[in-house]
Amino acid sequence: MTLKYTAVSEFPQIIEKLENTFSKNLTKPINYRKKQLERLYNLLDENEQEICDALYKDLHKHKTESLLGEINVIKQDCLDAIEHLDEWASPEYVKVGVAFKLNRCHIRKDPVGLVLIIGAWNYPVYLVLLPLVGAIAAGCTAIIKPSELAMYTATIIDALLPKYLDQEAYKCINGGVTEVTELLKYKFDHIFYTGSGAVGKKIMLAASNYLTPVTLELGGKSPAILDDNINFSVTAKRLIWAKSFNSGQTCIAPDYILCTKKTQEALLKEIPKVLRDQFGNDIQKSPDYARIINHRHFDRLVKLLEQTKGNIVIGGKTDRNDLFIEPTFVENVLKDDKLMEDEIFGPIFPIVIVENIKEAVKFINEKDFPLSLYPFSNDNDTIKFILDNTRSGGVTVNDCLIHATVPTLPFGGIGASGTGSYHGRKSFEIFTHERSVLKSPFFSEKLLERRYAPYNELNYKI
Ligand code: NAD
């Protein structure tokens, strides 16, 4: 199977068409937006099995993971947007001081225009269609560019989109680096990018040519900090779930663990049972465990296991033909270990020993701000200390990942883990320009006389 790329020669026509559609105000009526959101919902609902099959072919994703981690989240967001769109899109009248009492002041919620949405391969449906919900809700036209690495999914998205959504307003472009590089030569009104920080810099640079605003949803090393007083069996279950969901290829997967030596021992004791409970005796045979996306990423992860100076205590089995890597725990990993350089983005869990929580916080602060932070503790003061003294995109306390599933919580990074946030209303806001409008009546002229020259500054004393 090869993915059919969109010809670069078609780009000018596509872009011109979507710009025209926007200029004609076709995507702005609220009823039009709601209808398109309904159709996007139907696209996911009526083709659920085909989409899950594509995700299985790309990532060996179990249907439950495809529903929980991709399809259901987007459907829910469509429903939320349909329900709240009238309120989100209605003009906001603001209070004004005495000096402006004769004016009408309000904020219009205008769509920004034509937007470009570029997705990554690990959640290949979610990462293009979830931002698209925001773009449609805001009244924009949009191009989505799914990741070429999840080629079955990119193919089905390209096939389904025109069957459900208005082709004059929304378009899927397929391709790789060449196509994105070409696309970035055009002027968009917003670029929404999900992927690595290295490419994020290129996107930001290209966007700066037109001063186009960007949302960058990037990654990073998200730490789990374990206090000594926790419930180890529950913690083990939650950590394994979060690290093996999509085989650790989740931007907010816990990347590494920080804890004391005593806690490391207590945790590791629980792990084999949890792994058996969740995946049986032979994890490779479990239908619930995903695979690594391709050989390049597989080789990268295996190399990390070969290079680590830590001790592989649990797991370690790999199979290149099957792109399988067992959930693998590496104990006593040191600061300067290869595993501690870049985001792991796979089912390898290094444990770094620290003396106490204060040292854990210091360790985190010596790195880039992570996308997520996972403190596990029974002590509220400890949790507060960690939150007060670190920065991260988001936080789940005593669990992992789930803050990202709450539509009313903004999702995004800080610093190297990204800029801007979305989900729910925030997605609408990303693609909306808050346009301030003041309407002045002609009859107020008498009161305005003082602002004209010749000036008399005494009149302006407050
Ligand atoms: P990827 O290889 O699929 O790349 C992402 C997109 O960028 C693709 O559409 C691709 O075509 C394009 N691209 C790749 N190289 C390019 C280049 N040189 N020039 C222009 N465009 C290019 O995905 P990836 O980068 O491997 O994604 C993994 C990263 O994404 C991880 O760091 C992960 O944490 C992060 N991520 C973040 C989120 C989030 O919501 N914050 C979600 C998923 C993944």
pLDDT confidence band for 455 (50 / 70 / 90) = confident
**CATH number of the structural domain spanning residue 376:** 3.40.309.10
Mean pLDDT of 225-253: 97
List, for residues 21-71, the tens digit of each pLDDT value: 999 999 999 999 999 999 999 999 999 999 999 999 999 999 999 999 999
pLDDT confidence band for 164 (50 / 70 / 90) = very high
Residue from 143, 205, 200 nearest 175 by CA? 143
Indicate the average pLDDT of the chain: 96
pLDDT of residue 13: 98
Of all residues in the chain, the percent with pLDDT exceeding 70 is: 99
Consecutive H or E run containing 258: strand 254-259
For residues 229 and 214, membership in a common domain is answered with: no
pLDDT of residue 454: 87
Q: Is 105 a catalytic residue?
A: no
- Structural contact between residues 192 and 112, judged by C-beta atoms closer than 8 angstroms: no
For residues 276 and 393, membership in a common domain is answered with: yes
Q: Look-up: residue for tokens 């459900």? A: 164
Tell me whether residue 283 is in a domain.
yes
pTM of the model: 0.96
List, for residues 288-304, the tens digit of each pLDDT value: 999 999 999 999 999 99
For residues 227 and 173, membership in a common domain is answered with: no
* Cα 7 to averaged position of ligand 1 atoms, centre (Å): 21
User: Number of folded domains in the chain?
Assistant: 2
Tell me whether residue 369 is in a domain.
yes
Tell me whether residue 460 is in a domain.
no
> 338: burial class by Cβ within 10 Å (0-12, 13-18, 19+)?
middle
Mean pLDDT of 84-106: 93
pLDDT of residue 313: 97
Mean pLDDT of 97-123: 94
For residues 190 and 227, membership in a common domain is answered with: no
Mean pLDDT of 378-382: 97
* Cα 199 to averaged position of ligand 1 atoms, centre (Å): 7
Q: Look-up: residue for tokens 């967001």? A: 77
Tell me whether residue 459 is in a domain.
no
* Cα 455 to averaged position of ligand 1 atoms, centre (Å): 58
- Residues contacting ligand 1 via CB (< 6 Å): 118-123, 127, 145, 147-149, 176-177, 180-181, 194-196, 199, 202, 217-219, 251, 343, 345, 371, 413, 418
* Cα 119 to averaged position of ligand 1 atoms, centre (Å): 6
* Cα 457 to averaged position of ligand 1 atoms, centre (Å): 57
Q: Is the pLDDT of residue 450 over 90?
A: no
Q: Is the pLDDT of residue 451 over 80?
A: yes
Tell me whether residue 416 is in a domain.
no
pLDDT of residue 236: 98
**Calpha distance 28→16 (Å, rounded):** 18
Give the count of alpha carbons within 13 A of 285, CB side only: 4
Mean pLDDT of 158-185: 98
pLDDT of residue 462: 62
Q: Is 331 a catalytic residue?
A: no
Distances in whole angstroms, Cα of residue 366 to Cα of each of 74, 218, 231, 335, 361: 36, 19, 28, 10, 9
In a 3-state reduction of DSSP, which class is residue 274? helix
In the 8-state DSSP scheme, what is residue 28? -
For residues 137 and 286, membership in a common domain is answered with: no
For residues 300 and 324, membership in a common domain is answered with: yes
pLDDT of residue 448: 85
pLDDT confidence band for 458 (50 / 70 / 90) = low
Q: Is the pLDDT of residue 101 over 90?
A: no
pLDDT of residue 98: 83
* Mutational test site, ligand 1, from 144, 157, 196, max ligand atoms within 8 Å of CB: 196
Tell me whether residue 254 is in a domain.
yes
Q: Is the pLDDT of residue 447 over 90?
A: no
Q: Is the pLDDT of residue 461 over 70?
A: no
pLDDT of residue 255: 98
Q: Which residues fall within 8 angstroms of residue 191, CB to CB, at 6 or more apart?
A: 115, 116, 118, 184, 203, 207, 212, 213, 214, 215
For residues 351 and 376, membership in a common domain is answered with: yes
Tell me whether residue 50 is in a domain.
yes
For residues 230 and 321, membership in a common domain is answered with: yes
pLDDT of residue 414: 98
* Higher per-residue pLDDT: 101 or 433: 433
What atom in ligand 1 is closest to the CA of residue 181?
20
What is the ipTM, given to two decimal places? 0.97
Q: Is the pLDDT of residue 105 over 80?
A: yes
Give the count of alpha carbons within 13 A of 158, CB side only: 18
Choosing from 217, 270, 326, 429, which is the catalytic residue?
A: 217
Mean pLDDT of 438-461: 83
For residues 272 and 405, membership in a common domain is answered with: yes
- What domain range is 329 assigned to? 223-409
Tell me whether residue 76 is in a domain.
yes
For residues 148 and 234, membership in a common domain is answered with: no
Q: In degrees, to the nearest 5, what angle opens at C-alpha 393 toward C-alphas 388 and 398?
A: 65
What atom in ligand 1 is closest to the CA of residue 203?
20
**CATH number of the structural domain spanning residue 23:** 3.40.605.10
* Mutational test site, ligand 1, from 123, 184, 204, 251, max ligand atoms within 8 Å of CB: 251
Mean pLDDT of 1-5: 93
For residues 100 and 114, membership in a common domain is answered with: yes
Closest Cα to atom 40 of ligand 1:
217
For residues 281 and 398, membership in a common domain is answered with: yes
What atom in ligand 1 is closest to the CA of residue 252?
34
